[in-house]
Amino acid sequence: MKKIIILGSTGSIGTQAVDVIEAHPQLFTLAAVAAHSNWELAARQIQAHGAAFACMTDEPAAEKLRQEVGERCTVFSGPEGLLKLIDECEADMVLTSLVGAAGIEPTLHAIEKGLDIALANKETLVAAGELVMAEAARRGVRILPVDSEHGAIFQCLEGRSGSEVDKLLITASGGPHFHRPLEEFPSITVEQCLKHPTWNMGGKITIDSATMFNKGLEVIEAHWLFDMPYDRIEVVVQPQSIIHSMIQFTDGSVLAQLGMPDMRLPIQYAFTYPQRYPVRGAKAIDWKTLGSLEFFAPDPEKFPSLPLAYEAGKAGGTMPCVLNGANEVAVYAFLRREISFTRIFDVVRTVMERHTVCRDVSLDAIRSADAWARRCAASLL
């Protein structure tokens, strides 16, 4: 029986993870839930699954949750409450499905405690990949990818030596604007971005998918997870989101992982690895009606996010952290309708241009680079 902590239990990934846990009561228990402010849903999750620990990073929401659940659940509060929850709750694994750089410290804390990580929160690896991977190696902790592309590569790589692999081919849906003419990009609205063709996700990653910064973040995530140089990671647009990613061997042969777009598959596999179990209600690919699979190269003029991410990744040190912090600020400003769609690219580019890379990637250095990037981005809005 695996005891799982879900950080970000009320979000898109978090609720699907609760569904996976509920479908396999013989395999998992929900040890703790954590979210920012949605205490009503957290209360329902605690009542339904008997989680004994919880955290709301928003203080008033934590107080409401305490009143709702009473003695049966210990409720921590604030960002430091996430660390206390990890300390107090005896668990086997942490799913990091909270959004943004807020995931860095709880992820590192869970690694220090020796807990395996099911990692959805890609921003943590983008901002602090070097530190997180080094800590995980030092503590013998497994980082199991939940992001569907990385879950796919992880499955393709299983049991193979890195020297056989020529490159990683990360697939992208291309998002809702892939076929839109470049001239229309400055006037793209929030509503046009929220209609993602293949996935139903939280607000931040939905905008990241529309700008393709999501794919840029995933390139950096793949670099750290699979220890692969950037010039051997390629992005391939596969609009149907059936091929979740591929690896190409040195002899040119390609191995792909396919499946219907359903995040419960990679979530569950991260929970049960190396075993496989049925996913409740999941649909298999219907080959009779699937039709064709298309492939395109991404357009760097429409999506400068991709060259910026490669640039940040290759610069190394604190630069990916700065790209991530600036992007977070710009995305939320776009969601509040304060800046245009293409301004997101400008803000990230300018913040990166103004940054002097620091080679120190300690937690303090990452914290201060992230804070600097946010201030710099905010000053540009």
> Can you give the binding site for ligand NDP, defined by CB under 6 A?
8-14, 35-38, 57, 97-99, 102, 120-123, 147, 199, 201-205, 263
Beta strands in 204-304 (DSSP E): 233-237, 243-249, 254-258
CB of 166 to ligand NDP, least distance (A): 26
In angstroms, what is the minimal distance from the CB of 211 to ligand NDP? Answer: 13
Is the dihedral angle over the CA atoms 261, 156, 309, 235 positive or is it negative? negative
**What is the nearest approach in angstroms of ligand NDP to the Cβ of residue 41?**
7
* 78 annotated to a ligand binding site: no
- Closest approach of ligand NDP to the CB of residue 101, in Å: 9
| Helix, strand, coil percent content, the chain, rounded in steps of 5 | 55, 15, 30
218 assigned to a ligand binding site:
yes
Select the binding partner of residue 370 from Mg ion, ligand NDP, none (C-beta < 5 to 8 A, by kind).
none
Q: What is the 8-class DSSP label of residue 119?
A: E
When asked if residue 123 is in the footprint of Mg ion (CB under 5 A), the reply is no
For residue 327, how many C-alpha atoms fall within 13 Å in the half-sphere facing its CB? 33
Outline where DSSP puts E strands in 231-349. 233-237, 243-249, 254-258
| Residue 2, marked binder | no
By C-beta, is 15 or 342 nearer to ligand NDP?
A: 15
**Which among Mg ion, ligand NDP, none contacts residue 328 (Cβ within 5 to 8 A by kind)?**
none
The residue among 116 and 149 lying less far from Mg ion, judged by its C-beta, is 149
Indicate the residue whose CB is closest to Mg ion. 147
Select from Mg ion, ligand NDP, none the partner in contact with residue 10, using the beta carbon and a kind-dependent cut-off of 5 to 8 Å: ligand NDP
Residue 220 interacts with which of ligand NDP, Mg ion, none, CB < 5 to 8 Å by class? none
Tell me the residue nearest to ligand NDP as measured from the CB.
11
To ligand NDP, the closest distance from the beta carbon of 58 in angstroms equals: 7
- Give the one residue of 147, 208, 328, 370 binding Mg ion; rule: CB under 5 A: 147
In angstroms, give the least distance from the CB of 16 to ligand NDP.
Answer: 8
Answer yes or no: is 215 a known binding residue. Answer: yes
- Determine whether 210 is exposed, middle or buried from the number of CB atoms within 10 Å of its CB (0-12, 13-18, 19+): buried
Alpha-carbon distance values, 88 to 30, 183, 223, 317 (Å): 14, 54, 33, 33
CB of 261 to ligand NDP, least distance (A): 9
Nearer to ligand NDP, 167 or 264 (CB): 264
The per-residue DSSP string of 48-108 comes to HH--SEEEESSHHHHHHHHHHHGGGSEEEEHHHHHHHHHHHS--SEEEE---SGGGHHHHH
Asked whether residue 220 is marked as a ligand-binding residue, the answer is no
Residue 328 marked in a binding site:
no
Beta carbon nearer to ligand NDP, 37 or 340: 37
Q: Where are the beta strands (DSSP E) in 300-381?
A: none
- Closer residue to ligand NDP (CB): 87 or 166: 87
Q: Which residues contact 69 (CB under 8 A, 6 or more apart)?
A: 43, 46, 47, 54, 75
Nearer to ligand NDP, 13 or 75 (CB): 13
Residue 102's binding partner among Mg ion, ligand NDP, none (Cβ under 5 to 8 angstroms by kind) is ligand NDP
Which pairing describes strands 93-96 and 116-119: parallel, antiparallel, or unpaired? parallel
CA dihedral angle for residue 316, residue 322, residue 327, residue 332, rounded to 10 degrees = 150
214 annotated among ligand-binding-site residues: yes
Cβ atoms within 10 A of the Cβ of 314, count?
Answer: 14
Among candidate residues 247, 102, 242, the one with its CA nearest the CA of residue 170 = 247
- Is 324 marked within a binding site? no
Residue with smaller CB distance to ligand NDP, 36 or 302: 36
State how far the alpha carbon of 195 is from the alpha carbons of 181, 209, 352, in Å: 17, 10, 29
For residue 318, give the nearest of 262, 271, 358, 377 by alpha carbon. Answer: 358
Least gap, CB of 102 to ligand NDP (angstroms): 4
- Read off the amino acid at residue 23: A
User: What does each C-alpha distance from 362 to 67, 225, 278, 365 come to in angstroms?
Assistant: 39, 18, 41, 5
| 179 in a labelled binding site | no
The single-letter code of the amino acid at 301 is E
| Residues annotated in a binding site for Mn(2+) | 147, 149, 218
In the complex, the residues that contact Mg ion under the rule CB under 5 A are: 147-149
Residues belonging to the binding site for NADPH are 10-13, 38, 121, 123, 202
